[in-house]
Structure 1
Amino acid sequence: MSTFSNLGLKQEIVEALTEIGYENPTPIQEESIPQILSSGKDLKAFAQTGTGKTAAFSLPIIQQIDVESKHTQAIILSPTRELGIQIADNIKNFTKYIKGIRTVAVYGGAKIEEQIRGLKRGAHIVVGTPGRTLDLIKRGVLKLESTRFLVLDEADEMLNMGFKDELDAILEATPDTKQTLLFSATFPKEVNQIARNYMTDPVEIETAKVNTGSDNVNHIYYLVNERNRYNALKRIADINPSIYSIVFCRTRKETKEIADQLIEDGYNADSLHGDLSQAQRDTVMQKFRKKTLQILVATDVAARGLDVNNLTHVINYKLPDQIEAYTHRSGRTGRAGNKGTSIAIISPKERGKLRPIERKISKKFIKTDVPNGKEVCEVQLFNVIDKLKTVSVNETEITPYLEGIYEKLEGLTREEIIQKLVSLEFNSFLDYYQNAPDLNNVSTDRDDRGKRRNDENMTRYFINLGRKDKLTPAKLIGLINDQRITKNIEIGQIEILDTFSFFELDKNYQDETLSSFEDTSFNGRTVNVEITKKQKKSGGGDRGGRRRRDGGRRDDRRGGDDRRRKFNKGGGNSSGERSFKGGRKRPNRSGARHH
């Protein structure tokens, strides 16, 4: 088996690597390090997240730095601030026993004055994002005429983020004699164009393994109706009390919405996306690394460069468009010898996206049922027991109160005390999941053509409020909750139209529903609720068949967007999960509390 010494690295570097815990080189390191050390040729390397590519290009560069010179000898470009900071930190660890090497990270979102001072003091290696690097070049502060090494890390992502012009300008500012090292997860035509324009007869390396941790990662999927996607995410968190996960969303907007919903529902979560300032991002990441946060909701771009090795799960709230993005995501779990799980939450229309991913990762997705309420409650019950069993007792602090405690508990048996202690946390879960719906039933949702489902367990109601009354799905759910029809009533489909709307509720509560809406008003308007589709209420009589006759229209096709909308306000959601009355939040999750 190869060692770092065998690759030609000097003892000071090997000593630092041993101290960090690097034992043997990964395939990309094994091929790249000798090539960069022994040859001045340019290099194109295919390397996925988690393969150790930072060490692959930085270790041979470190070995060839002339410490006596104050000029910048290496410039490393990365697509995001987080990745740039991580690379700079890694290099500082690698150079622990090499005196005199100075590394400076430059990136947007931080005070440029401090970065300028760092460059003026002398920086042998500069790690930067394209925008800030070009800014410093134009200011005449970053001078690259003595650059010997140029590294383009995650080149494909830099191009995806629109940095082509910046890359062209930076490359033009470097000498022709430099050695260019291009590392990329994929090589689309734009990356190859850069290679053709700025590299000379490059050596190409492509390691066989997509991700060194892939053997330790299980790939599973949950199939749910679109309206149940968020509730499936909550069930996944609840069935895994010790979850430590990144949830990947496709857009900044979706990232913020899902994180806000999780926080509101009592989960220990936060978001990471491009709209955050650097200080905000640093705060979020500090909490996540310390596991103060258990769930981080992020976009693919924002998650680039996150140095977290102990993730239990990676959750694809939505599958990415590019297969390579999935391998990047899943590669963040199952690292350092740990087992990990990559989860995809998909709707029936998305099943076709799994097959190309399976071919790429050479693994099959395992279909798994979303846990039901009983399963979640059982797991949470024993989680409470485990916490009770392992909790540390501060005898010094608690002793003065014990006599009074014993007095208050006098008359209770040992079994009764245990039952009451456990029930303090367990009751909220039991209450929430009592009669919880089965999220695995996808046959009753709309088909691909938008045809209405036929759900025999639900009653459809007409309500004389619509968009013109400023009614939204969230407000309608809040209005339903305010009626206190029954505890945790199931809410089904919602359609918000211009002047009227429809909603579905559990068919077992028709009388209670109709009576509860009597003498109800909304924004000063009297509310009228009736059963539609000629359904009979349980007490006999027919109030069905009524449809709004505005302009002779029976329907408003523009209501489709509202039917597919996700909600995070108004006391509940339209996806069939139980809602709490009077605007109360769902119970805090044991093992996933929000601080």
Structure 2
Amino acid sequence: MTKFDSFKTFNLSQSMLDVLEKKGFFKPTPIQVHVIPLLMKGNRDIIGQAQTGTGKTAAFGIPIIERLTGNAASIQALVLTPTRELALQVSEELESLRGDKNIRIVPLYGGQAIKNQLKTLTSGADIVVGTPGRIIDHLKRGNIKLDSVSYLVLDEADEMLNMGFIEDVKEIFRSTNENKQMLLFSATMPTPIIKLAKKHMRNHDYVSVSQEDLIAEFTDQVWFELTEEQKFEALCRLIDINDGFYGLVFCNTKSDTVEIAQKLGERGYAADALNGDLTQDQRENILKKFRTRRLNILVATDVAARGIDVVELTHVINYSLPQDAESYIHRIGRTGRAGKQGTAITFVTPADSRRFESFIRTAGAEVRLEKVPSVKDVLNSRTKSFKRDIAQIIRTGEYQDFLKLANELLDRQQANAVVASLLKYYFQDTLKEDHYPELDAGRSKEDDGKVRLFVAIGDYEDMTPEKMPAFLSRESGINDLELDTIEVFSKFSFVTVPKKQADLLLKRFADMRKRNRPFVELAMNSNVRENRKK
């Protein structure tokens, strides 16, 4: 057991421990392990290098809330964020952490009328969370004073730099007292951020947490081998079989997000699309529904998902493979947050296999290959979930409003007939096997019994699809090769052959290597499977 394996080791109040337990926070994340003890001591500034989703808000929020007096006579803590969306998220998270402590938390951001914010400020504020531009607006109008601030938090400093807010931040710094404790969080540390820290911070501690470490600890990674046509049905089955599914589904294009979200809606799922075509109001409305669980599925592009920080996601699904390993790591790092286990699922088509393999190598990930749930698996899962929900209603007595109607039905019909009829009315035909389309996990029916192979030669060496059959036959000594599909790239190729011939080709080329790897091998490198077992 490590020194900080539990929040109880931080000497927090029982009230705060109760709040954390209610939120389901039992084990502190690495950034919380580093930051909370330092802030509780209260004598040094902190620079934290950590990305969104590492538990930053709780890392600074828990000790700040613990140490505030809560009189609202003056602003005691200021948190600066680059966007109004993040300002709202941070203020909501702090609100959930304060429990029954009498402190006021006020968000201040652009896009909302200043007079409405002024009305809120007249009641006092202990913690202000705001965007630099709007904070400066209130300072110039004399609506707020920052000379009593004990804590100044700069969240996502590199984003503020990218958005051109650094000069505004410096101006805000000049309005605060010199004895405050400063915290600067940034995913990267460009030179202007380092200069900012050196100029405005006193003696400080530097802490760093990599997202890869968090992924390894809290994220279960799974992949499915699918054709493009199989993806949507696989998605539906995975949602059905995971009771309480609450997740992000990533696509690469805006049109895909709309199409998939619409198809999910037609199937009866609570889903919506998040992409760059939305107005800010539309975006905030969708995110509000998602955070309050009126939506449990959000289909998004990478760009549109920036700034989303929802700590209780059960799943992240890569419906489309991202363009690079960094995006892959960032996507899957959105689940498994706040010390809770999450699952990252990736759909891999045959054309994606080499790129996916490189992502896994870069991330140093252990990824497990699984089969798509069968129809029977889905039906069993839905039936168990339904039985569990009914048992819960009976335990809580929430059926009382329907007792009169139930008695009327039972007076006229046998009980089993009434229950069966109600089940028919509720489920219709969705619990029948033929309701679900056929889906062969891993490859389409027309590819059944065939294997896709990687061949370490491409058009850089004058190879073409027309030349490939003769080349493989000559090198392997197999004269009746049945090559189905042939894809030739710059330095390698893919071929699909019957399983028996694939086994023979692998055997014949077993001793032939190129660039320290087998000349012919399965399209998904066997090293990936070996890594999953370690």
* TM-score, normalization by structure 1: 0.59
Rate the CA distance shift 1:21–1:433 in 2: closer, same or farther, 3 A: closer
Q: Which residue is equivalent to 1:378?
A: 376
Contact 1:288/1:296 (CA < 8 Å) preserved in 2? yes
Cα deviation, residue 420, structure 1: 7.5
Counterpart of 1:425, as a letter, is D
Identical-pair percentage: 36
Rate the CA distance shift 1:246–1:119 in 2: closer, same or farther, 3 A: same
1:269 alignment partner, one of 268, 271, 287: 271
**Partners in 2 of 1:218 and 1:304 — Cα distance?**
23
**Partners in 2 of 1:235 and 1:397 — Cα distance?**
35
Cα deviation, residue 397, structure 1: 1.3
1:425 alignment partner, one of 423, 429, 433: 429
Contact 1:79/1:158 (CA < 8 Å) preserved in 2? yes
Q: Does 1:150 align with 2:152?
A: yes
After superposition, residues 117-266 of structure 1 pair within 5 angstroms as 117-137=119-139, 139-159=141-161, 162-163=162-163, 165-175=164-174, 177=178, 178-187=180-189, 191-192=193-194, 194-195=196-197, 199=201, 202-207=204-209, 210=212, 214-226=216-228, 229-230=231-232, 232-237=234-239, 240=242, 243-250=245-252, 252=254, 254-266=256-268
- SS in structure 2 at match of 1:425: coil
Q: What's the CA shift string for 1:496-540, capped at 9, x where partnerless?
A: xxxxxxxxxxxxxxxxxxxxxxxxxxxxxxxxxxxxxxxxxxxxx
Q: Which residue is equivalent to 1:587?
A: none
Q: Which residue is equivalent to 1:59?
A: 62
Q: Which residue is equivalent to 1:75?
A: 78
**Partners in 1 of 2:137 and 2:249 — Cα distance?**
34
Q: Does 1:116 align with 2:122?
A: no
**Partners in 2 of 1:402 and 1:452 — Cα distance?**
71
Alignment RMSD = 4.7
Contact 2:53/2:309 (CA < 8 Å) preserved in 1? no
Unaligned ranges ≥5, structure 1: 454-595
After superposition, residues 19-30 of structure 1 pair within 5 angstroms as 25-30=28-33
Cα deviation, residue 74, structure 1: 2.6
Q: What's the CA shift string for 1:158-199, capped at 9, x where partnerless?
A: 55xx42x12331222313835431223444566546546655
Rate the CA distance shift 1:142–1:257 in 2: closer, same or farther, 3 A: farther
Q: Which residue is equivalent to 1:396?
A: 404
Cα deviation, residue 343, structure 1: 0.8
Rate the CA distance shift 1:267–1:418 in 2: closer, same or farther, 3 A: closer
- SS in structure 2 at match of 1:72: coil
Contact 1:259/1:269 (CA < 8 Å) preserved in 2? yes
Counterpart of 1:128, as a letter, is G
Cα deviation, residue 342, structure 1: 0.4
Contact 1:109/1:278 (CA < 8 Å) preserved in 2? no
- SS in structure 2 at match of 1:122: coil
**Partners in 2 of 1:408 and 1:69 — Cα distance?**
61
Contact 1:214/1:331 (CA < 8 Å) preserved in 2? no
- SS in structure 2 at match of 1:104: strand
**Partners in 2 of 1:132 and 1:387 — Cα distance?**
47
Larger Rg: 1
Q: Does 1:46 align with 2:49?
A: yes
Worse-matched range after superposition: 215-224 or 199-208: 199-208
Q: Which structure's residues are more often helix, by fraction?
A: 2
Q: Which residue is equivalent to 1:317?
A: 319
* TM-score, normalization by structure 2: 0.65
Rate the CA distance shift 1:133–1:265 in 2: closer, same or farther, 3 A: farther
**Partners in 1 of 2:415 and 2:63 — Cα distance?**
70
Contact 1:145/1:174 (CA < 8 Å) preserved in 2? no
Rate the CA distance shift 1:370–1:156 in 2: closer, same or farther, 3 A: farther
- SS in structure 2 at match of 1:381: helix
Rate the CA distance shift 1:209–1:438 in 2: closer, same or farther, 3 A: closer
- SS in structure 1 at match of 2:428: helix
Q: Which residue is equivalent to 1:520?
A: none
Counterpart of 1:397, as a letter, is L
Q: Which residue is equivalent to 1:483?
A: none
Cα deviation, residue 315, structure 1: 0.6
Cα deviation, residue 236, structure 1: 3.7
Rate the CA distance shift 1:252–1:79 in 2: closer, same or farther, 3 A: farther
Counterpart of 1:433, as a letter, is P
Counterpart of 1:386, as a letter, is K
Rate the CA distance shift 1:430–1:275 in 2: closer, same or farther, 3 A: same
- SS in structure 2 at match of 1:433: coil
Cα deviation, residue 36, structure 1: 3.3
Q: What's the CA shift string for 1:24-53, capped at 9, x where partnerless?
A: 644322322333344654322133455432
Rate the CA distance shift 1:420–1:38 in 2: closer, same or farther, 3 A: closer
- SS in structure 1 at match of 2:143: coil
After superposition, residues 474-553 of structure 1 pair within 5 angstroms as none
**Partners in 2 of 1:408 and 1:38 — Cα distance?**
65
Contact 1:241/1:380 (CA < 8 Å) preserved in 2? no
Rate the CA distance shift 1:239–1:34 in 2: closer, same or farther, 3 A: closer
Q: What's the CA shift string for 1:450-479, capped at 9, x where partnerless?
A: x999xxxxxxxxxxxxxxxxxxxxxxxxxx
**Partners in 1 of 2:322 and 2:154 — Cα distance?**
24
Q: What's the CA shift string for 1:403-447, capped at 9, x where partnerless?
A: 55559979xxx9x9999889932477615515x5776258999x9
Contact 2:241/2:382 (CA < 8 Å) preserved in 1? no
Rate the CA distance shift 1:105–1:356 in 2: closer, same or farther, 3 A: farther
Q: What's the CA shift string for 1:212-237, capped at 9, x where partnerless?
A: 57434321223444565545434544
**Partners in 1 of 2:32 and 2:80 — Cα distance?**
19
Rate the CA distance shift 1:34–1:240 in 2: closer, same or farther, 3 A: closer
Contact 1:80/1:302 (CA < 8 Å) preserved in 2? no
